[in-house]
Amino acid sequence: MTPPCVLFEDEHLLVVNKPAGWNTHAPAPFAGEGIYDWLRHREPRWASLAILHRLDKDTSGVLVFGKTPLANKSLSEQFEQRKVSKRYLLVSDRSPPTTELVVRGNIARDGERYTSLPSDAGGDPAETRFKCGIGNAECGMWEVAAEPLTGRTHQIRVHAAANGFPILGDTLYGGTPAARVFLHAEQITFTHPATGEAVTFRAPAEFAADARLGLRHALVGAQTPTNTTVRLLHGAADGWPGWQVERLGDFLLSQSEAALTDAQTAQLAAWLAQLSLRGAYHKRLDRRVRETKTGQASPQLVLGEPAPERFPVSENGLQFEISFTEGYSYGLFLDQRDNRRRLLTGHIAAEFPFTLHPSPFTVLNTFAYTCAFSVAAAKAGARTTSLDLSKKYLEWGRRNFALNGLDPTAHDFIYGDVFDWLRRLAKKGRAFDAVLLDPPTFSQSKESGVFRAEKDYGKLVALALPLLKPGGILFASTNCATLSPEEFLATLEVMIQRAGRRITQQHYVPQPPDFPITRDEPAHLKTVWLRVS
């Protein structure tokens, strides 16, 4: 399914409406994917996407990517020769000095900021035309159109601030704090690289909308039958430290260590109305969950009507059963959505496809939980083996198979300790085209004792490798907060080398964009796809 953020696509161009709060590209190796990275690795036809221009993380609007060498060359030249026309819209709570203003000067970097300088004082020349449109002195807001004639970093933000009307929300340049930076790339016009005709792409500004919802809608849409699950609010990254909210079909699930505040309850009520949902639940996060009874650990209804004991939700066109009555876990980990899509589509990343042939392509899903990975692989045509310590969750997995028109009897479901069964399967000479490792951070069984990801993940990999066919795919994942990405990858590399095997392809995947990674809310999920010879 084409993501809702896509405005236009042809053989040469991909045009998107980038939401506020999403980088154009990843700022660091283990940071969250930018919209470019997320798109490039999503579809085979987008594997050669090229960045032609950029928008700041907190700026929304029209962004153009090239798909062919012709487009990349043509658009790069048009940008360099200033033949591309761009129109932005900004809001300020301070009145511009005139209705029309042309700002010329140089821009130079100053730490994390950029500064406006006289034309003879160093830096790079920059020019912006401003036109004040709708102004409302009573509410203290002014809407200003901005046309950058050059393309310097932070150019509009710097020039607006230097002339007394910093953008609302742009605290880096003296703007009044707000829910987002009120700057939007509204329109872009250029010559199509193949037809030679002028083309214009537009996306209206939606400053009044909730920017957090805007990001999520760009990923999965507001109301789509193929995707009804998304994390709407991710803690401090979305301005609410310690609080997470997920949409699960027609219901909201709120999670935090404390009871809901009045402000949080009001936010849930607003989303229920805005998204036309039926009810909201709240789950108290408890570190001593193993000592808590099922009824106490289960989410509690706080608004609206109660959910059925079991109900389906949609993700990437697949159906999964959810339950708020089974205790701490409700049946699906949303942060693995994109990895399930990779299994479903047979496309891991740009330059890293995998094929479901020779048939049957076999997948071993360890710590299978409710078998969501297995469902995605089976829907793509694989023969799956799901291994878990819980009979209850394996039965739940069988129901997930049936929900998607898959015959559970055509696949294997093994109840037991993962470590014990990895040894048993190896003794039987079993081998798989793909092995999936997604263990809990902490687990305990009679057979293997205590498992802690930070110290025992290597042991798990060593037991899994004999079951992986030469050239097979190893998927390794952990949400252990104390295990850094560098340490995690190093552990995998060491164990693979010790087994006398070699990594021939690798793709590291952070958590998806609806789980934003920021300094205030660091990444918890670390996953990597490996082809092992």
What are the residue numbers of the active site? Answer: 56
* Widest CA span in the chain: 81
Considering only CA atoms, which of 453, 512, 529, 509 is closest in space to residue 335? 512
Q: How far apart are CA 363 and CA 345, in angstroms?
A: 14
Shortest CA distance to 344 belongs to which of 385, 303, 377? 377
Residue 181, CA atoms < 13 Å, CB-side half-sphere: 27
User: 416 is written with which tokens?
Assistant: 């037991």
Sign of the CA dihedral running 402, 404, 406, 408: negative
Q: Which two tokens stand for residue 257?
A: 């260590």
- In Å, what is the CA distance from 351 to each residue of 42, 253, 280, 348? 11, 37, 42, 8
CA of 104: how far to CAs of 99, 107, 129, 164, in Å? Answer: 17, 10, 9, 15
Query: Do residues 339 and 509 make contact, with C-beta atoms less than 8 angstroms apart?
Result: yes
Q: In the block, which residue shows the tokens 């958590």?
A: 511
Backbone angles phi, psi at 13, to 5 degrees: -130, 150
Q: What is the Cα–Cα distance from 391 to 369, expressed in whole angstroms?
A: 9
Whether the upstream peptide bond of residue 358 has omega within 30° of 0, thus cis, is yes
Up-side HSE of residue 372: CA atoms within 13 Å toward CB?
A: 26
